[in-house]
Structure 1
């Protein structure tokens, strides 16, 4: 299971990188075609969709790589047991927040599909298509937060923080 989850986070990060390149391509094409006097409708929208997909798909990989911004000043001042308890509490709150984000992003994509919402731009893209990346990204992020919470409850220190994350 550990290998599967680590691979899931890595694939999610890889997809985020692909969508980041998609932003680059869409913006570059927009600039070049504007200079050539050619109009390709929807390039700005697709750059935005790619940027949103990259951001949401990167959440889990970034979290599991310990790259999210974290204020550890209070944690560092606590004894080991207090640090562990506060960290687990924060992760449990994170589980609630990510579960809510997950629920509403899935609901948004399903509602857009149900009501046939389309973008207001020239591209008229069905909005559920780019919203799938947001829903998938939040689901994987939720899995990552739950995974980290379970690991922390078992006493496994956070990967990437070495000694400061140990609770002995």
Structure 2
């Protein structure tokens, strides 16, 4: 199971990187076609969809890599047992928040599908299509937070954060 989850987070991060390239391609195409006097409708919207997909799909990989911003000033001042308790409390709160985000992201996709919502821009894209990346990204992020919470409850120490590695 560990290998599967680690692979899931890695693949999610890789797909996020592909969407970042999509942002680049859409923006460069938009600039180039404007210079040539050609209008391709929806390029700005697709850049935005790609950026949102990249952001949401990168959440789990970033979290599991220890790259999310974390204020460790209070944690470092506590004894080991207090640090663990505060960390678990924060992770449990994060579980509740990410579960909520995951639920409402999925509901948004279903609502957009049932109401036949389409983009108001030139592209006319059914909105449930780009919203899928948000729902999938939040689901994988929720899994990652629950995974980390379970690991910490079992006494498995967290991976060292990169910002802390620089000073050790």
* Match in the other structure for 2:133: 133
Matched, 1:33 2:33: yes
Structure 1 portions without partners, runs of 5+ = none
Q: Any idea what the Cα deviations from partners look like across 1:39-85, whole Å, max 9, x if unmatched?
A: 00000000000000000000000000000000010000000000000
Q: Which residue of 2 aligns with 1:112?
A: 112
CA distance in 2, matches of 1:23, 1:38: 19
What TM-score results when the alignment is normalised by the length of structure 2?
A: 0.95
Q: Which residue of 2 aligns with 1:20?
A: 20
**CA deviation after TM superposition for structure 1 residue 139, in Å:** 0.1
* TM value normalised by structure 1: 0.95
Q: SS of the residue aligned with 1:26?
A: helix
1:72 alignment partner in structure 2? 72
Moved over 4 A (4+): none
What does 1:1-168 align with in structure 2 at a 5 Å threshold?
Answer: 1-161=1-161
Distance 2:149 2:138 in 1: 16
Aligned residues: 163
Residues 124-146 of structure 1 show CA distances to partners (whole Å, capped at 9, x for unaligned) of 00000000000000000000000
Would you say the 8 A contact 2:67–2:161 is kept in 1?
A: no
RMSD: 1.0
- Distance in 2 (alpha carbons) for counterparts of 1:126 and 1:7: 30
Decide whether the 8 Å contact of 2:57 with 2:136 is kept in 1: yes
Structure 2 unaligned regions, length at least 5: none
Q: Is the 8 A contact 2:27 2:47 kept in 1?
A: yes
Give how far 1:159 is off: 1.3
Deviation, 1:161, is 3.4
